[in-house]
């Protein structure tokens, strides 16, 4: 797999293409792109067969090791690839360490090893163990092992340790990569650690490029957060200087990636900084709180809300689709009232339908981003989404305040 960027200008929205010719008929995926976040090899709530009803375009599945650790021994004896093992042989795959939709526990550090938190507890991985997994899984892309356990509040000692560990892991993993016939055609992404310290980021980047920049196909700007739903509400101003500094230091011809449940508005801001690759973990956390994306993407869209909570009692008799005119299966076949009913009786079909809609809407959103970059209208689209988001925040704040006032009046009576 190779990455080709149309513009080598730094710190700006850019179009590119990921091209894969190995083992499959030639596949081209345009960037900015979003990886399909999976757990246990499947998109949460959706089977591979159902996803074919959402999109027939080639996609890249994000395979977090934390959710696939239990299959590690099985994959050692399995001759095929991880995409074949999970029943999606025509999909491309990208192996990552953590699940961006779940909060990664802080601490529990061990020298030369990284903890991952599986359903059966903590498991420690060193570089050799991790590369054994990469060789047995045979993904199309993978991130090198890293220590990304930093956030806004991390002390300098923790940041320095994260950089030291990440540099060592990068070196050890690349040594294995050079020696392996299985790995040599895979797309390699090097994580950049350093928390919120510019000097530490610079040191990590310099060391990554010193090892061998030619063997690295892209970079992951890691260590900005500890994953989980809270990333949706991370103020962009907190990470802006770190992102801009990192992108400026990285080679412009390389793919640049971030992970996390970024809100649509922050996704656009990240694209404006030159980020090329994201994931759909945001769709998952939205579905878990029974919310559907409804923000307007094209002028033909009739809905003005940013998102709606399908559990809200006002939707009990709303016999319209989630979005009028939406072409997803959920909107074409079902109504808000029906999905509200399914949620009320805790029917498993409810999150399936919500996830179908959210994934469909998010993929449309990324197509719109690429279109806006091509037409040089991304600034206008950002302002439009920002306006919808601000209206949503005002309504949410007003609703909460009204509820508190109502409860206080009831208590006084």
141 is a domain residue:
yes
The CATH number of whichever domain residue 151 belongs to comes to: 3.20.20.105
Q: Does 141 lie in the same domain as 31?
A: yes
**How deeply is 171 buried, as exposed, middle or buried, from its count of CB atoms within 10 A (0-12, 13-18, 19+)?**
middle
Q: Is 261 annotated as a binding residue?
A: no
Task: Among 256, 271, 287, give the residue marking a domain's end.
Answer: 287
Same domain for 261 and 124, yes or no, is yes
Q: Are 323 and 351 in contact (CB under 8 A)?
A: no
Q: Do residues 324 and 220 both lie within one domain?
A: no
- Evaluate whether 336 touches 310 at the Cβ level (below 8 Å): yes
| Same domain as 353, residue 246 | no
Distance CA 352, CA 357 (A): 9
Residues 332 and 395 in one domain: yes
Identify whether 408 is part of a domain: no
228 shares a domain with 276: yes
Q: Report CA-CA distances (Å) from 3 to 205, 215, 370.
A: 20, 13, 16
**Domain presence at residue 60:** yes
- 353 membership: H or E segment, kind and range: helix 349-375
Residue 177, marked binder: no
Q: Within a domain: residue 316? A: yes
Domain check: are 86 and 174 in the same one?
yes
251 & 316 share domain: no
What does each C-alpha distance from 54 to 43, 286, 292, 358 come to in angstroms? 12, 17, 15, 10
112 lies in the same domain as 188 = yes
361 is in an annotated binding site: no
- Angle of CA points 19, 31, 91, to nearest 5°: 55
Give exposure, 359-372, as e/b (b: 16+ Cβ within 10 Å). Answer: bbbbbbbbebbbeb
In terms of DSSP H, where are the helices of 222-307? Answer: 236-249, 264-272, 281-288
Residues 273 and 299 in one domain: no
CA–CA gap between residue 248 and residue 188 (Å, rounded): 20
Domain limit, last residue, from 287, 313, 331? 287
**96 and 140 housed in the same domain:** yes
Q: Is 328 annotated as a binding residue?
A: yes
For residue 333, being part of any structural domain is answered with yes
What is the rounded distance in angstroms from the CA atom of residue 264 to the CA atom of residue 304?
Answer: 15
* Pair 202, 325 in one domain: no
Give the 3-state secondary structure of residue 329: helix
Buried b (16+ CB within 10 A) or exposed e, 42-73: bbbbbebeebeebeeeebbbbbbbbbbbebbe
Picking from 42, 91, 40, the residue whose alpha carbon sits closest to that of residue 66 is 40
413 part of a folded domain: no
Q: Is residue 127 part of a domain?
A: yes
What residues make up the domain containing 144? 2-287
Examine the fold and report which residue of 261, 287, 313 is the final residue of a domain before the chain moves on. 287
CA dihedral 352, 356, 361, 362 (to 10 degrees): 80
pLDDT tens-place values along the chain, 413 residues long = 899 988 766 778 999 999 987 665 688 999 999 999 999 999 999 999 999 989 989 899 999 999 999 999 999 999 899 999 999 988 999 999 999 999 999 988 788 999 999 988 899 999 999 999 999 999 999 999 999 999 999 999 999 999 999 999 999 999 999 999 989 889 999 999 999 999 999 999 998 887 666 789 999 999 999 999 999 999 999 999 999 999 999 999 999 999 999 999 999 999 999 999 999 999 999 999 999 999 999 866 666 789 999 999 999 999 999 999 899 999 999 999 999 999 999 999 999 999 999 999 999 999 999 999 999 999 999 999 998 898 888 877 755 444 545 555 555 55
- The answer to whether residue 409 is domain-embedded is no
How many domains does the chain fold into? Answer: 2
């Amino acid at each position: 797999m190779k990455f080709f960027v149309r513009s080598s200008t730094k710190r700006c929205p850019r179009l590119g293409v990921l091209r894969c010719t190995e083992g499959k008929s030639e596949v081209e995926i345009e960037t900015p792109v979003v990886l399909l976040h999976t757990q246990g090899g499947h998109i949460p709530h959706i089977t591979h067969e159902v996803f074919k009803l959402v999109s027939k375009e080639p996609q890249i599945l994000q395979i977090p090791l934390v959710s696939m650790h239990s299959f590690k021994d099985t994959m050692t004896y399995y001759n095929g690839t991880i995409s074949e093992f999970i029943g999606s042989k025509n999909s491309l795959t990208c192996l990552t360490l953590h699940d961006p939709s779940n909060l990664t526990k802080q601490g529990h550090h061990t020298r030369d090893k990284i903890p991952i938190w599986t359903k059966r507890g903590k498991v420690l991985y060193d570089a050799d163990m991790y590369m054994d997994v990469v060789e047995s899984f045979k993904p199309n892309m993978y991130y090198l092992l890293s220590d990304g356990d930093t956030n806004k509040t991390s002390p300098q000692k923790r940041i320095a340790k994260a950089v030291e560990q990440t540099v060592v892991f990068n070196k050890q993993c690349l040594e294995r990569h050079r020696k392996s016939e299985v790995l040599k055609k895979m797309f390699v992404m090097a994580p950049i650690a350093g928390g919120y310290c510019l000097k530490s980021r610079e040191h990590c980047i310099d060391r990554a490029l010193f090892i061998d920049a030619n063997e690295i196909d892209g970079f992951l700007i890691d260590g900005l957060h500890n994953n989980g739903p809270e990333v949706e509400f991370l103020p962009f101003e907190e990470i802006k200087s770190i992102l801009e500094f990192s992108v400026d230091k990285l080679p412009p011809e390389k793919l640049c990636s971030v992970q996390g449940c970024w809100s649509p508005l922050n996704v656009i801001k990240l694209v404006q900084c030159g980020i090329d690759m994201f994931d759909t973990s945001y769709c998952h956390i939205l579905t878990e709180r029974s919310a559907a994306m409804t923000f307007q993407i094209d002028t033909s869209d009739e809905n003005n809300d940013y998102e709606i909570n399908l559990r809200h009692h006002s939707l009990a008799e709303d016999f319209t689709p989630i979005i009028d005119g939406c072409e997803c299966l959920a909107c074409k076949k079902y109504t808000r009232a029906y999905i509200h009913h399914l949620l009320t009786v805790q029917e498993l079909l409810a999150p399936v339908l919500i996830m179908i809609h959210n994934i469909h809407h998010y993929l449309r959103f990324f197509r719109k981003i690429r279109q806006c970059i091509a037409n040089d209208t991304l600034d206008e689209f950002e302002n439009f989404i920002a306006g919808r988001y601000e209206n949503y925040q005002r309504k949410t704040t007003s609703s909460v305040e009204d509820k508190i006032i109502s409860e206080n009046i009831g208590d006084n009576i």
